[in-house]
Structure 1
Amino acid sequence: MTRDEYQQSLADLSTDVLDMADLVAGRLDRALTALETVDEDAARDVATADDEVDRRYLDLEATCIQLFARQQPVASDLRFVASSFKILTDLERVGDLAVNLARYTLAADRARFEEVDLSAIGDLAREMLDDAMTAYRTDDAALCREVAERDDDLDTLCQRASERIVRDLIEREVDDGDTWAVEELMDDVSRLLLIVRDLERVGDHAVNIAARTLYMVESDPTLV
């Protein structure tokens, strides 16, 4: 492979990572919309369409391995390939979380906890993911650090939502003799707490992407 061909391979990898990010973000957007509107058709589409993300991930993983094995990149090229490899893993996991959210939508009774604002949490997590990928595309170290700073805001929103869910559970009156009603309520509470947890994890993966991008740009993954 000539030097020009090698540089084109690196450029193609960057484009492919960004394309996978767009695919995953689209899945996440659809899952969040389904969650907010209780759109079961959209939720089913997301829940059953994970194979495309997995295939894309495995193909690009193989590309990274080939670049490591055949070209033995050094210095900045090595950091770029290594960071891209790790970012692909985070994107694949965000895709898995989108599937989780879709499945929760199909199972949970959102009408029971309408006062819990999941949309604000989802919007912030989604924005963090978008900005993390923008930082990757533009080599923006400052934006990497901004993504990490917003993780505290996301954690706060998630903590408040979880506390609200538990408090409402404690205050809610349920006939102890109605075993089915009690179990149904507990299932809904558990699923809602899992939704909050998975939205928080989307933000965690966005921070991971920011850290890996910062390593690529500055050879140091320290965000703070």
Structure 2
Amino acid sequence: MLSFLALGFLIGMQHALEADHVAAVASLASGERSLRAIVRHGTAWGIGHATSLFVFAGIAIVLGIGLPARTAAALELAVGVMLVGLGLDVFRRLVRARVHFHAHAHTDGVVHIHAHSHDGDTGPHDPTRHEHTHPPGLPVRTFAVGLMHGLAGSAALLLLAVTGLRSGWSGLVYVAIFGAGSIVGMALLSAAMAIPLSFTARAMTWAHRGLQIATGSLTVIIGGFIVVEAAGTLL
């Protein structure tokens, strides 16, 4: 029993590294430059993913019901469309304004890289435009994307939990541990993603833009594949 639950945690970590999950978080975090902000995106995705998994799969386990194949395919289709939208949004952010990067310090002494636009400016550069705040808490948009991914992944998790455990309550514990593993996995991955994003933002603006273009392109491609596959199941 304990070994199966421990395996669930590890599978949850591995599950977070699936291509569509990585693409979603990378596209959402591509505009960030600090380790803290990027990890916040990964953690928000993981919490949203775990929340919907626990609620949706948990209810199904307790009630002893399954998820119809067409419903699962429809959820996958929605995820694919969402990914295409996230990828296109990366390009929208890139072309929206002319951006430059610089380092500056807040009043609390924290120094970090900041990006902002001067597109359309006609007067001299105003240094007060560098003043900005960092909202506390988790990014709501990233949390919502995690919720959607959790809904789409609940069908496979239901099958694994039901076939591996006899008790419904054991299944709930498994889902919770699986979700915790996905949070840890995505948080660690987002920390790894922060290294090239932070470095290129600080030292090579052209490379940073290249990473954003690559992220947006891959996200659109992965989303497109998911849409085609899910649509084939539904039609």
TM-score (norm 1): 0.32
TM-score (norm 2): 0.31
The structure with more helix, counted as a fraction of residues: 1
The structure with more strand, counted as a fraction of residues: 2
Report which structure shows greater RCO (CA 8 Å, sep ≥6).
2
